[in-house]
Every structure is written in structure tokens, then in C-alpha cells.
Amino acid sequence: LSGHYESLDYECDESEIAHMEEKRLGYQHTRRIVVLKWLIMLLIGICTGLIAVFVDFTVKNLTKFKFSYVQNKLETCLSEHCLFKPYLAWIGINISMVLIAGLLILWEPVARGSGIPQVKCYLNGVAIPHVLRLKALIAKVLGVIFAVSGGLAVGKEGPMIHAGAIVAGGISQGKSTSLKFDLHILKYFRTDKHKRDFVSAGAAAGVAAAFGAPVGGVLFALEEGASFFNQQLTWFIFFASMTSTFTLNVVMSAIDGHFGDLSSPGLINFGLFKDTPYMWFELPLFIVVGCIGGIFGALFNQLNLRLTKFRHHYINKRWLLVIEVILVAATTVVVAFLLIIGTMYECRPIKTQLELNSPTIQLYCPDGQYNVMGTIVFSTPEQAVRNLFHSEIGTYYPWSLLVFCIIYFCLTCWTYGVIVSSGLFIPSLLIGASWGRLVGIVLHTLFPSNVKYFDPGKYALFGAASQLGGTMRMTISLAVILIEATGDIGLGLPIMIVLTVAKLTGDYFNEGFFDMHIALQSVPFLPWQSDIFAYQLSALNIMSAPVIQLKTVEKVENIYHILRTESHHGFPVVDHHTDETSNQRAGTFQGIILRHQLITMLRKRNFISLNDSLRDYLTMDDFRESYPRHPPIESIHLTNEERELYCDLRPYMHLAYTVSHSATLPRIFSMFRGLGLRHLVVVNDKNEVVGMITRKDLARFR
């Protein structure tokens, strides 16, 4: 496990000064905090919704501009035999856009990928450095715009989740060091615990905006993120998600020219399935489709894992990364071009395409007809999915669909991991929809009498669900997201069945996509349960010992020394009734003091002389001041006189949980997850400190 990451602390502060502050502020304050929380949730929802609109609007227009330009050139060149011209223009535009996206990531590396693993880690209790910075937001949003517009096989939905999380983190803290701005009223939210609440709401709002799925957002936050469940928090999250969808709908309706009509759906809309019945004898088919998706998903994960490892080893210089991203962009265009050329004569009469709102491309087709593959290639992935769902029976040639599916699979697999910010939802849906439609076509050919049931579009939907489930291994949240995104609940039950089967099948082979990436980065991620052999391990086997500990009244010199030499973030405080001379350090456990608290005490010179008692208490505000980036110990310099003084740790120490040395691993696990711990002190029968357990000690046993 990497020592690069520090944990977050989701416990309430239980110290004398915390209780004093609570008492001083009283009941009124608690109510004000709740009202403030609702307001902040509202703001989070609105901002996330607006960002989603911005992304969508920009992507749509950039893409439209690009395609109309290329398409124009293409059609004029068809006759003039200058096909290389549009081709070069296309490559040029794409590469430059993707290059911008890549450079943004070089500027802020944390914005790479979809951001979902990072958000998951944060909610699990691990702070990935820089993950909630403003810089990350900018890189993420602009990066995804250029990546998608640059024609890469990426979606813009995943990044919205990360963007929402950053927005939430930022708004709730009301403070920006780079912008030199501090909203004092929000200082009470400057704890890991409160911040997590907001971040989970932000992530949910991101989902809600991306898919127009407020309930899906809540479920996503619960299923993927939460190590906690709390009714009130769920309502807060729900409120933020609702606001986000609502904002998005209002603004989108204005942009689309029917301002105020909110029944128009969210950011993506896969279109209603009207009158699509299903029969009980399709149940085995659902299961088969689920299995296929599970296998393909697992394959995808495995390939991507290999690729990521390869990249990690060999493509580790900045310029190599840039070259790779350019290569991906170029390959994508070449392949698209070849696809179009290869299927040049596959034409269909223009009929339903107009309804489906996507461009039709004539190419070598006779008038009144359009090129099928060209239409897929020249539309955004969302439109392509929509086409696969709703095009008439017989629109697609099975062979070209198969080729498209394989190519897109490989492209997506390659693309996720290069230095762009990229989502995986839509590409997975597109892969799934194409093989799903293929399944539908096969069924339809085998049983032509049951056309009504073996609708290729319906099976495209199931395929999409299956592929998504096989890759990401979520069930309920994905089901709800898909239902909300198609705006259609009639097929809800089969979607759920397909997703569950896909998840189970996939789990047989490997982990979910995001979990894999988390494991790859050696993040000390705490899973839901410990290993099943864990009952054979007790606290004694897990803990670190000896423990660096402090006395309730400790010499400044010692504290300073410990902080300089040890990198730990928490130190048990023990009673010092043992003989000073006998050198025996064990004392009964009193509480835990955090590194940043000690540093603040040193910085504020909160010292007493021996036999004196503390009069000038530091307040919670003193400790909050430097949240979340506390100054390092190196910034503090003490005189020799000061070093001889003492610190009284008792008012500041946190009355932490302890666990007996005979406790087993599963029990320690459930304490960490159930109570959101950062440090757990192991004590013996006499309440003497014998060891220390942190998340890193546990994460080894997943």
C-alpha cells in the first residue's frame, strides 16, 4: 500500500474544547447549521446543473461545427476525388482538440480518467491529494469537453461526478486559498465529516445532472460511495440531486428553444420505448444477455488492467504520454474513416433518422438514402446509442455492426487511461448496444414470427445495460439510472435482471472496473467486509507496536522531537502515573491527539510550566484555522526556553474508541466502517495502550 495517501477522519470530535464550543453556541446554532446545510445543498445542485449544461452545450456545438465542416468537405470531395483533404482536416481538428485535453491533464494530473475512483476513495475515507482543488475542476471540465469533441471514445458523464464533488467541496468550505476568500459562517463545516457529506451530495448531483436521474444519483452515492447510511443525509443528497436535475432542465429547455417546458428530459435521453412488451419465455434470453455482458465486461476490465500496467511501466515520461494521446486521436479518426469507406455502399432510405434527430450522411448513397455507418460515426456517442435503440428493424447490417462493436471495444479499452479526462458510461453503453442489437437481429432472424418480442432495439437496450453492469458491477443504481435516462419504466424489470446477472457473471472473473483501478494505485481502500479467514487474526496480529505515545502533560521538547522524527498523524495520550524513573511507558489510555493539533499548539505557544495548570485554552477556531492543509512541523522554530515548558493535552485530546487486544479482524473492520475511524487504539485488560491500528493496517486484508 502506498504511503502517499492520508486518511480522513469521519468521527465527531469529542474533546473538552469541542464540548465547550457546543455548549456556548447552544441550540440556536444547531438549527442554523441545518438551515445552512439545506442552502448549501441547493447551491451545490444549481452549480452542478449549470456545469453540466455548459459541458453539454459546448460539446454539442464543437462537435456540430466539426462534423459539418468535415462533412461538407467530404461531400464536395467525393466527386472531386480529393478525399484526403477532409480526412486531413478531420485528423487535424481532432488531434489539436485532444492535445488540449491532454495538456490540461499534464497541468493537473488528478483530473485524468473518470474521477469516479477518486471520489469513491474520498467517500471511503482516503484523501487523494488535490482531488477537490479548483484546478482539478477546470482541468476536468475543459478536458472532457475537448476529449469528447475531439472524437475520442469517451463519455462526458463520468467526469460530471467528479466535477460535482469538487463543486460541493468548494462551496461547502466557503474558502479558497488561491482566491484569497473566506466565508466565516461556513467554518463549522470545515471538518472531514461535514465535507464528506457535501461531497457525496455533489457526486450524486453530478450523476443526477449527467443522466437526468435524481434517484439514480442518490443510489449511486449510496451503492458506490457510502460507508455510512443516515436518513437525514440521504434527504440532503436527494435534495441536491433534485435541484441539479431541475436546474439542468430549466436551462436546457431555454437553450433548446422551448423555455420552461421541463418535461423535456435531462442531459442525455435515450428515448422512450413505446409498446415494447416482453414475455416470460424471454427470461432465459435476459440471463444469456446478462452473461455475455458479464464476460465482455470482465474481459474489458482485464485488458484495460494489463494496458494500464503496461503504460505504467513503459509510458512514464510526459512526452510519451502526449504522443500516446495523439496516437489515440489519430487512430480513432483513421478507424472511423476506414469504417465509412468500408461500408460505403450500405445505404438505407432516410426515414426514421430524421425523427431520431441525428445527422444523415449521403456519401456514395443514392439521393434520399443515407450511409448507415457514416451516421453512427458522425454523431456523438449518445446519438449513436439512441440510434441503436430506436432505429427500425433492418437498419443495420449485422456484419458491420459486429466490426463496429469490436473496434469500438478495443478503442475504448485503449482510450481509458491515456491522459484525458474521460467517462466510461457512454462508451460501455455503445459497445453493449451494438452487440445487443446484434443479438436482437439474430433472434429476429431465427424466430421471424415473434418480431414483436425480438425487437433488436429492445435487445440493444439490454445489451447496453449488460455491458455497463459487467464493467462497473453496480446493480440498483445503474438500473435506476438507465430507467431514468430512457425515461421508461416498462422495461425496468428485465433491465434489473440483466444487470444482476451481468454483475454476478463478471464478479466470477474479476473485480469491478473502478475497484480495479483503485487497487492498482495501492490506495488503502476499506472494502465492505474483511477476508473470510480473518477471524483467525486478532488485534495483536494487525496492530503496530510499540506505539509512540504522549503523556497527558508532555514536555514541549518531546513533542517537537516526536513530530520531527515520526510521520504518524495520531498519538495516544496516556496517564503518566507510572514511575518516571522506571522508564516504563505504558499508561492507561486517555485519548488521541492529532498531529495537526500538536502543531497548532506549538505554533500558538500554548505552553505551561510544570506544576502550573492551563488557563488559556485554545479554541476550536484555532484548530480549524488551517484546515484542510496544515502547516508542516518544519515551519515551527522553538527557543530553548520554550522547549523546557509543557503542553497540557487533556482539553484537546479526542476521546477515541479503543478495542481490546483480543478483538478479531471482522470486529475491527466493522468498527472502522461503521464508525468511520481513522485511528483505533488497542488496549490490554488494564486499559494500557499496546498497539495502534490505522486504515493502512486493515486495507492489507482485503
Ligand X SMILES: Nc1ncnc2c1ncn2[C@@H]1O[C@H](COP(=O)(O)OP(=O)(O)OP(=O)(O)O)[C@@H](O)[C@H]1O
- Residues 474 to 503: which contact its own copies by CB under 8 A? 475-476, 479-480, 483-484, 487-493, 496-497, 500, 503
Looking at beta carbons only, is 480 or 547 nearer to ligand X?
Answer: 547
Pick the piece of the chain touching ligand X (CB under 6 A) from 12-20, 131-139, 145-153, 541-549. Answer: 541-549
Tell me the number of residues near ligand X by CB under 6 A. Answer: 15
Task: Name which position in 60, 311, 351, 569 contacts ligand X (CB under 6 A).
Answer: 569
Pick the piece of the chain touching ligand X (CB under 6 A) from 272-280, 351-359, 565-573, 601-609. Answer: 565-573
CA contacts within 13 A on the Cβ side of 453 = 15
Q: Whose CA is closest to 290, among 542, 508, 504? A: 504
Task: Name which position in 163, 252, 692, 698 contacts ligand X (CB under 6 A).
Answer: 692
Looking at beta carbons only, is 264 or 522 nearer to its own copies?
Answer: 264
Cβ within 8 Å of residue 11, ≥6 positions away: 193, 654, 656, 675, 676, 677, 678
Buried b (16+ CB within 10 A) or exposed e, 399-427: ebbebbbebbbbbbbbbbbbbbbbbbbbb
Element (H, E) at 485: helix 476-486
State how far the Cα of 348 lies from the Cα of 387, in Å rounded to an integer: 14
> What, of its own copies, ligand X, none, does residue 263 touch, CB below 5 to 8 Å by kind?
its own copies
Q: Is 502 helix (H, G, I), strand (E, B) or coil?
A: helix
With cell 457514416, the residue in question is 374
Task: Name which position in 133, 390, 661, 695 contacts ligand X (CB under 6 A).
Answer: 695
Looking at beta carbons only, is 175 or 695 nearer to its own copies?
Answer: 695
- Residues 292-351 binding its own copies (CB under 8 A) are none
**Inter-residue contact 595 to 9 (CB < 8 Å):** no
Pick the piece of the chain touching its own copies (CB under 8 A) from 49-57, 70-78, 271-279, 578-586. Answer: 271-279
Residue 175 — φ and ψ, nearest 5°?
Answer: -160, 140
State how far the Cα of 169 lies from the Cα of 162, in Å rounded to an integer: 11
Task: Name which position in 85, 568, 643, 650 contacts ligand X (CB under 6 A).
Answer: 568
Q: Is 122 in the site for ligand X (CB under 6 A)?
A: no
Least distance in angstroms from the C-beta of 695 to ligand X: 5
Task: Name which position in 89, 687, 696, 702 contacts its own copies (CB under 8 A).
Answer: 687
> What, of ligand X, its own copies, none, does residue 696 touch, CB below 5 to 8 Å by kind?
ligand X
Q: Whose CA is closest to 651, among 678, 615, 675? A: 615
Distances (CA, A) of 343 to 203, 275, 290, 374: 41, 32, 30, 8
> What, of ligand X, its own copies, none, does residue 6 touch, CB below 5 to 8 Å by kind?
ligand X
Q: Is 272 helix (H, G, I), strand (E, B) or coil?
A: coil
DSSP character at residue 522:
T
State how far the Cα of 413 lies from the Cα of 417, in Å rounded to an integer: 8
Q: Is 650 in the site for its own copies (CB under 8 A)?
A: no
Measured torsion, CA atoms of residues 219, 220, 222, 225, in degrees rounded to the nearest 10: 180
State how far the Cα of 533 lies from the Cα of 525, in Å rounded to an integer: 19
**Inter-residue contact 695 to 126 (CB < 8 Å):** yes
Q: Is 548 in the site for ligand X (CB under 6 A)?
A: yes
Task: Name which position in 92, 129, 277, 546 contacts its own copies (CB under 8 A).
Answer: 277
Counting Cβ atoms within 10 Å, is residue 306 exposed (0-12), middle (13-18) or buried (19+)?
Answer: exposed
Least distance in angstroms from the C-beta of 219 to its own copies: 8
Q: Is 124 in the site for ligand X (CB under 6 A)?
A: no
Site string for its own copies, 660-679 (x = CB under 8 A): x-xxx-xx--xx--xx----
Residue 8 — φ and ψ, nearest 5°?
Answer: -105, 160
- Residues 559-598 binding its own copies (CB under 8 A) are 575, 588, 590
Task: Name which position in 404, 483, 694, 701 contacts ligand X (CB under 6 A).
Answer: 694
Question: How many other CB atoms are there within 10 angstroms of residue 496's CB atom?
Answer: 20
Task: Name which position in 570, 587, 591, 676 contacts ligand X (CB under 6 A).
Answer: 570
> What, of its own copies, ligand X, none, does residue 311 touch, CB below 5 to 8 Å by kind?
none
**Inter-residue contact 429 to 468 (CB < 8 Å):** yes
Q: Is 249 in the site for its own copies (CB under 8 A)?
A: yes
Pick the piece of the chain touching its own copies (CB under 8 A) from 53-61, 232-240, 321-329, 624-632. Answer: 232-240
Looking at beta carbons only, is 34 or 393 nearer to its own copies?
Answer: 34
CA 268 and chain centroid, separation? 19
Task: Name which position in 571, 623, 646, 701 contacts ligand X (CB under 6 A).
Answer: 571
Q: Is 22 in the site for its own copies (CB under 8 A)?
A: yes
- Specify the pairing of strand 570-574 against strand 553-555: unpaired
> What, of ligand X, its own copies, none, does residue 544 touch, CB below 5 to 8 Å by kind?
ligand X
- Residues 504-533 binding its own copies (CB under 8 A) are 528-529, 532-533
Task: Name which position in 79, 178, 449, 536 contacts its own copies (CB under 8 A).
Answer: 536
Pick the piece of the chain touching its own copies (CB under 8 A) from 96-104, 176-184, 615-623, 657-665. Answer: 657-665
Least distance in angstroms from the C-beta of 136 to ligand X: 21
Q: Is 535 in the site for its own copies (CB under 8 A)?
A: yes
**Inter-residue contact 44 to 198 (CB < 8 Å):** yes
Least distance in angstroms from the C-beta of 548 to its own copies: 21
Looking at beta carbons only, is 142 or 497 nearer to its own copies?
Answer: 497
DSSP bridge pairs for 588:
688
Q: Which stretches of 351-455 are DSSP H helices?
A: 352-355, 372-377, 381-390, 398-415, 425-446
Cβ within 8 Å of residue 583, ≥6 positions away: none
Looking at beta carbons only, is 259 or 399 nearer to its own copies?
Answer: 259
Least distance in angstroms from the C-beta of 523 to ligand X: 11
Biggest CA–CA distance in the chain, Å, is 99
Looking at beta carbons only, is 213 or 418 nearer to its own copies?
Answer: 213
Least distance in angstroms from the C-beta of 157 to ligand X: 31
Q: Whose CA is closest to 571, among 558, 557, 584? A: 558
> What, of its own copies, ligand X, none, does residue 234 touch, CB below 5 to 8 Å by kind?
its own copies
**Inter-residue contact 95 to 102 (CB < 8 Å):** no
State how far the Cα of 152 lies from the Cα of 57, in Å rounded to an integer: 18
Tell me the number of residues near its own copies by CB under 8 A. Answer: 84
Least distance in angstroms from the C-beta of 678 to its own copies: 15
State how far the Cα of 48 lies from the Cα of 114, in Å rounded to an integer: 16
Looking at beta carbons only, is 273 or 300 nearer to its own copies?
Answer: 273
> What, of its own copies, ligand X, none, does residue 230 touch, CB below 5 to 8 Å by kind?
its own copies
For 81, the grid coordinates are 476525388
- Residues 421-480 binding its own copies (CB under 8 A) are 475-476, 479-480
Q: Whose CA is closest to 267, among 188, 214, 339, 335? A: 214
With cell 439510472, the residue in question is 481
Q: What residue ranges bind ligand X (CB under 6 A)?
A: 6-7, 544, 547-548, 568-571, 692-697
